[in-house]
Structure formats: structure tokens, C-alpha cells
Amino acid sequence: MTSMLCISRHTPSGNALAREALDTVLAAAAYEQDIKLLFMDDGVWQLLKGQQPSHINQKDITKNLSALPIFGVEEVYVHEPSLQSRGISRDSLSLNNVQLLTNEQTQALIASQQHILSF
């Protein structure tokens, strides 16, 4: 089993990369890899509650995000400075089981992984 970290850094609707990152995480889980997911930069917008992407003909990514534990993805991290600089509070996140990381903790997490899948 290889340790892998997927870093998702793009907005939920502005770019297909958010969904494509999530699909990659699910594929890694299906292949029984040790996959973790980190949201940082504009990627933290994906976690915001109350999104209604159907108005712009897009699927709701938050449903898939909340299903991650079912697929064996237990470790979901959020880069806290990215939240702070965008004025997003922890209460407004759709996922409860995320771990907030400081800059130092984020660096340590990235350094500890064999593979980084960057989106």
C-alpha cells in the first residue's frame, strides 16, 4: 500500500479539477491505497455548506464529499490559513470530520507522503 495525498486547490464550480480530484481519490480508495485528501487555497470553497450548483447545471460535489468515509477515505484535511484568508469559519463547512492544519502541519503532511496527486 502506497501513501498518497490528493491536494485539491480549485473552486467547486469554476473548474472541473475539483470533481476530477475527487474522482481520483475515489479511484485510489477503490485500489486500496492509503489515500488522504487535503483542501487548500481556493479548494476550501468546495466545503462550503448550502451550495446549489444545479442552478448552473452542475452536480453537487458536497454529497460525494460526505460519502468519502463510506469509500474508505478517513483522512480529510483542510489548510486553516486558506479558510482564514477567505473568511470561512469552521461552522460553515459541510463536513464535520475534517482536520484543520497549520502551515507547519501541512508541510509535515506533504513531506510524509510517497506520492502527491495535485489538482
Binding-site ranges for other proteins (CB under 8 A): 2, 4, 9-10, 16-17, 20, 23-24, 27-28, 30-31, 33, 115-119
Indicate the residue among 40 and 49 with the shorter CB distance to other proteins. 40
Rounded to a whole number of angstroms, the minimum distance from the CB of residue 49 to other proteins is 25
Residues 6+ positions from 47 with CB-CB distance below 8 Å: 39, 62, 65, 78, 88, 93, 94, 95, 98
Indicate the residue among 9 and 79 with the shorter CB distance to other proteins. 9
Report d(CA 47, CA 116) in Å as an integer.
21
Provide the 8-state DSSP code for 33. Answer: -
Report d(CA 6, CA 43) in Å as an integer.
11
Rounded to a whole number of angstroms, the minimum distance from the CB of residue 28 to other proteins is 5
Rounded to a whole number of angstroms, the minimum distance from the CB of residue 62 to other proteins is 20
Rounded to a whole number of angstroms, the minimum distance from the CB of residue 25 to other proteins is 10
Indicate the residue among 48 and 117 with the shorter CB distance to other proteins. 117
Contact (CB, 8 A) for 43 and 86? no
Contact (CB, 8 A) for 2 and 34? yes
Indicate the residue among 23 and 92 with the shorter CB distance to other proteins. 23
